[in-house]
Amino acid sequence: MSRVDDLLIRSRRAVLPDGERPAAVAVRDGRITAIADHSAAVPAAASVDLGDVALLPGLVDTHVHINEPGRTRWEGFATATRAAAAGGVTALIDMPLNSLPPTTGPDALAVKREAAEGACAVDVGFWGGAVPGNAASLRPLYDLGVFGFKCFMSDSGVPEFPPLSGEQMRAAFAAIASFGGLVIVHAEDPAALSPPAGGRYPEFLASRPPSAERRAVQRVVRLAEETGARAHIPHLSAADCLDVLAEAQAGGVPVTAETCPHYLALTARDARTPAFKCCPPIRDDANRESLWQGLAGGVISCVVTDHSPCTPELKRGDFATAWGGISSLQLGLPVVWTAARERGHGLHEVVRWMSEAPAALAGVPRKGGIAVGNDADLVAFAADETFTVDPAALHHRHPITPYAGRTLTGVVRATWLRGTPAGDGAGGRLLGREAR
């Protein structure tokens, strides 16, 4: 006789891999053990009835800059993961840059892991970085469990993470292809970028035109085609790239793309303060609607935050000088859901973009869906409730946000990490890639 489950959660709106329906989800030892009918009598030590509050799988945010160690004054593991838990994100993957050291070698990965160990409220994995001179570290980093590699062709914003030259990037693609890894390229062609002619938003926007993204995406597609490396475009802003990506994907080139909540919810007209500054920039209304079409059509598969904080001092000033980065770990779900439902999209699509697809992209084991055998990473989401964004309620280190004062739809009521309430604790584990 098997023992009873630890926890049973009932919801009339469970968002399962095959759609939304009433269900009861059973949890034992941190894993999902059964998905039963809503009214099924399943013996469990504890039970929760969410009523009409939706039950979602925990979000998987594969684009987060935590900055610890080295720039912990910008953001750290404890604060970022607390914000994640409050926002329904149960697993995140940290980008290799903005911390010191950057995650470009085995020793640096060990330093990052040591800083994160015991500090995280949700599960945390790591991307490695490909920079000039670290070709010999790529395979060792992969074998140590990084999920893939990030690189730049333009200035990254920090001196210790330089861009790759054309030849270096080709070599990195070939090396990463040799062991089946994933390469993520910040896609802005430096030849199409210029210093802003002034400090206002239109001048900043003009300095990073859609053509910079399009040319870079074309280059990434060519390299993926030539080398066979799986390539991924992060934070896609320019809808001009969609036809390039669609054509490549239709032709079997292994290239995927993500966009971010701010590109889907905001437009250049909103950008009044440097809180709205990010690279590539937030563009016009028509561009935003085209990104929604790219998402609806599947050319863009993931929506992740690119949570990239800094100190308030660096976020002051004008659009020419302020740090570029928007921090939305805690708000990504309601920001995207608010804009998605206005456009007729369902919760199951949001779950696909923000949990299932990012987990699949990175190959995060046992995440990305409410399915038997997966970690019991679950979110109670009041999808019809509204709230007004109060920066004081944000948990990331410096609560600067372009969403201050906005009314959003969808409130995260509770987040479970492997069946245990997440939030104040440090129950997060360090994730590593597992052999596929």
Chain positions contacting Zn ion, by CB under 5 A: 306
Nearer to Zn ion, 68 or 306 (CB): 306
- Kindly state the smallest distance separating residue 167's Cβ from Zn ion, in Å: 24
Helices marked H in 313-421 = 332-342, 347-351, 357-362
- Kindly state the smallest distance separating residue 279's Cβ from Zn ion, in Å: 9
- Per-residue DSSP letters for 376-392? --EEEEEEEEEEE--GG
Rounded Cα distance between 44 and 177, Å, is 47
Output the residue with the shortest Cβ distance to Zn ion.
Answer: 306
- Kindly state the smallest distance separating residue 217's Cβ from Zn ion, in Å: 16
Backbone torsion region of residue 329, taken as left when φ is above 0, otherwise alpha when ψ lies between -120 and 50, otherwise beta? alpha
- Our CA angle for 20, 349, 380, nearest 5°, is 55
Rounded Cα distance between 326 and 274, Å, is 9
* Residue 135, Cβ density class (10 Å: 0-12 exposed, 13-18 middle, ≥19 buried): middle
- Kindly state the smallest distance separating residue 315's Cβ from Zn ion, in Å: 15
- Kindly state the smallest distance separating residue 13's Cβ from Zn ion, in Å: 32
- Kindly state the smallest distance separating residue 307's Cβ from Zn ion, in Å: 8
Nearer to Zn ion, 276 or 416 (CB): 276
- Kindly state the smallest distance separating residue 36's Cβ from Zn ion, in Å: 40
* Residue 22, Cβ density class (10 Å: 0-12 exposed, 13-18 middle, ≥19 buried): middle
* Residue 144 identity: L
Nearer to Zn ion, 5 or 61 (CB): 61
Nearer to Zn ion, 188 or 306 (CB): 306
Terminal C-alpha separation, the chain: 34
Rounded Cα distance between 272 and 371, Å, is 43
- Kindly state the smallest distance separating residue 34's Cβ from Zn ion, in Å: 38
List the one residue out of 334, 349, 344, 345 whose CA is nearest residue 384: 334
Rounded Cα distance between 213 and 215, Å, is 6
- Kindly state the smallest distance separating residue 305's Cβ from Zn ion, in Å: 9
List the one residue out of 22, 13, 85, 125 whose CA is nearest residue 350: 13
Nearer to Zn ion, 94 or 306 (CB): 306
Nearer to Zn ion, 63 or 366 (CB): 63
Nearer to Zn ion, 101 or 369 (CB): 101
Rounded Cα distance between 70 and 227, Å, is 35
Question: Residue 269: phi, psi to the nearest 5?
Answer: -65, -25
Instruction: For residue 420, list its beta bridge partners.
Output: 417
Nearer to Zn ion, 88 or 325 (CB): 325
Nearer to Zn ion, 108 or 185 (CB): 185
Radius of gyration of the chain (CA): 21
Q: In this structure, is the dihedral angle defined by the CA atoms of residues 412, 16, 232 and 137, taken in order, positive or negative?
A: positive
Nearer to Zn ion, 8 or 266 (CB): 266
Is the Cβ–Cβ distance between 200 and 319 less than 8 Å? yes
- Kindly state the smallest distance separating residue 347's Cβ from Zn ion, in Å: 26
